[in-house]
């Protein structure tokens, strides 16, 4: 599995600490997949590869 780095504000980090039981890595993975699925539903604009 690949690794990415995400920068968040100190305020967001503080809020995340309130909910330590949440798997934030999984939340981010799901958000990325949701965004990909949204983009796939849009008319094709070509690839930037």
List of residues 6+ apart from 8 with CB closer than 8 A: 16
Find out whether 29 and 36 touch, Cβ atoms under 8 Å: no
Q: Give how far the C-alpha of residue 39 lies from the chain's centroid of Cα atoms, to the nearest Å.
A: 14
Find out whether 24 and 32 touch, Cβ atoms under 8 Å: no
Average pLDDT of span 5-12: 97
The tokens of 19 are what?
């909910």
SS3 category, 27:
helix
pLDDT at 45 over 80: no
Q: What tens digit of pLDDT does each residue of 14-38 get?
A: 999 999 999 999 999 999 999 999 9
pLDDT at 49 over 60: no
Domain residue ranges of the chain, discontinuous segments joined by +? 10-40
């Amino acid at each position: 599995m690949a690794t990415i780095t995400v920068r968040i504000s100190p305020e967001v980090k503080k809020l995340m600490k309130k909910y330590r039981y949440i798997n934030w890595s999984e939340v981010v993975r799901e958000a990325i997949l949701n965004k990909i699925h949204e983009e796939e539903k849009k008319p094709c604009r070509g690839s930037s590869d």
